[in-house]
Amino acid sequence: MDISLWDEAFSRLEHAVERGLVREEAIDQAVLRVLTLKFAQGLFERPFLPEDRAQSDYSYTRFPQSLQLARESAVLLKNEKRILPLAPRKGDPIHIAVIGPAADDLYRQLGDYTPPLAPNEGVTIWKSMQRLAPPWVEVEYAQGCAQGQEDANELLEAAVGLAQQSDVVVLVLGGSSSRFEEGARFAANGAAAIETGGSVLMDCGEGVDLAGLTLPNGQTAVFEAVLRTGKPLTTVVIAGRPYAIPRIAEQSDGLLYCFYPGPMGGQAVAEILYGIVSPSGRLPVSLPRSPAQLPVYYNTKNSYRSRHYSDLPDSPLFCFGAGFGYGELHYQDFVLSARTISLEDLAHTPLTIRFRVHNVGARDDIAVPQLYVRLLRGSTVRRTRELKAFVRLLVPSGECVNGQLSLGVESFGGWNPRMEFVAEPGEAMLYLMDSDRLLWSGALVLTGREMPLRLEKP
């Protein structure tokens, strides 16, 4: 390692040389490599960005991508009895209770190291649901719980009372990477400095490790209390990490999982809940049933097949790639371009799978078909499956669209025992999935000789 950032190693090097722990020539070599890299990147000739490229007036109104990213990243995981969207017919009055500590806290929507935001530089879920509510919809808010315990009973009673008066409840729970809470402390390198057993709100970010994956700060008690009211319940989880929420998933009528949706996340979530847009995100990580469920990632190595739990299912609570929208999508007419192909041909002409997606639902939807590869043989043990391609397809209600996914020779690459990245001849299985549904599978034979592959630089 030639550069070590945010620690005290640099200030101790001179003493280390005097004690004979480090050779001065080794430091010279490290400095030479660092300076050579900077020279190659032009940092001596152009040490600063041009002033006309500096961005000093950032705002989400000037960058609408923030809102679109939030819309597309929210993941709908459950929608029992079609509780969502909360879009009643015009004239049907409805009272919505928005409850939870993450419903009206902008910094809970943002990631670690977020700087202070100027006024009106973001919107919360509660404020957005108020603003976007049709005239016949009444929306009220209760916090439910807070970091401290001195007013816990009062906040909980207010939330339960509001839920009892409502027609439907939207419960907004989750973690936080906020650095602006009272009592927050940070180390010299910027990582959070949280004492064992402390009650600091920040439960996700650099320097924040957890032994458990339950929701923090009394939120489980709020969920149970609201659940006992018997009201239709949609739970929104705002998170920077996977949480183990099996009971919440089982008992909620609707479940929307949002990984830190950003300053415009409040509007994006409200639009999804009201049906202004359809959710289209897919999980980028599996959600476990328990923090002790290991491994829970989807692409485990195919090396040990007798791994089972006696007290819970082997599968995750929600798998990598899970998620759906408000339409009803049917996939059909699958065509694979070849069942046998040489590696040489694959290097010039990609393998393709074509299909059609029919939306028989009443609402427009986004299809996100995902193509996985599993190599059955090779010089090393490969993964049970690996995501190699996906696409987003807008499918209007009642319509059918064509889709296609392609695989090049690099999609079948892997490291051999000589630590060379190569594609090897053999057999493979292809799996086309959307959410946790297997739509199509097929066998593929790769012929020819082992082919070295180049790893493209990002």
Nearest residue to 384 via CA among 314, 298, 446: 298
Please tell me the predicted confidence (pLDDT) of residue 251: 98
- 203, 258: one domain: yes
Cis peptide before 85 (omega within 30 of 0): yes
For the record, the structure tokens of 74 come out as: 């929210």
What pLDDT score does 92 carry?
78
- Give the model's pLDDT for residue 359: 98
When pLDDT is averaged across residues 107-126 and rounded to a whole number, the result is 87
Neighbours of 289 (CB within 10 A): 21
Please tell me whether residues 73 and 97 are part of one structural domain. Answer: yes
Q: What is the pLDDT of residue 458?
A: 46
Supply the range of the domain harboring residue 3.
1-52
- The band of 287, judged by pLDDT with boundaries at 50, 70 and 90, is very high
pTM of the model: 0.87
Kindly state whether residue 290 falls inside one of the protein's structural domains: no
Least trusted range by pLDDT, from 2-11, 232-241, 447-456: 2-11
Given a cut of 50, whether residue 58 has pLDDT beyond it is: yes
226 and 129 in one domain?
Answer: yes
- Within a domain: 286: no
Residues 189 and 267 in one domain: yes
pLDDT computed for residue 281 by the predictor: 98
Q: Are 85 and 273 spatial neighbours (Cβ–Cβ below 8 Å)?
A: yes
Amino acid (1-letter code) at residue 220: T
The yes-or-no verdict on residue 434 having pLDDT over 50 is yes
Residues 89 and 220 in one domain: yes
The chain-wide mean pLDDT, for the chain, equals: 89
Residue 189 scores a pLDDT above 70:
no
Higher pLDDT, 62 or 339: 339
201, 260: one domain = yes
Report the range of poorest mean pLDDT among 19-23, 214-218, 247-251, 374-378: 214-218
- Per-residue pLDDT band at 197 (split at 50, 70, 90): very low
Residue 88 has pLDDT above 60, yes or no: yes
**What percent of the chain stands above pLDDT 90?**
68
In a domain, residue 7? The reply is yes
- CA–CA distances in Å: residue 373 to residues 110, 147, 220, 337, 357: 34, 45, 39, 15, 21
404 - beta bridge partners? 354
Pair 82, 210 in one domain: yes
More confident residue, 133 or 436: 133
Choose between 202 and 440: higher pLDDT: 440
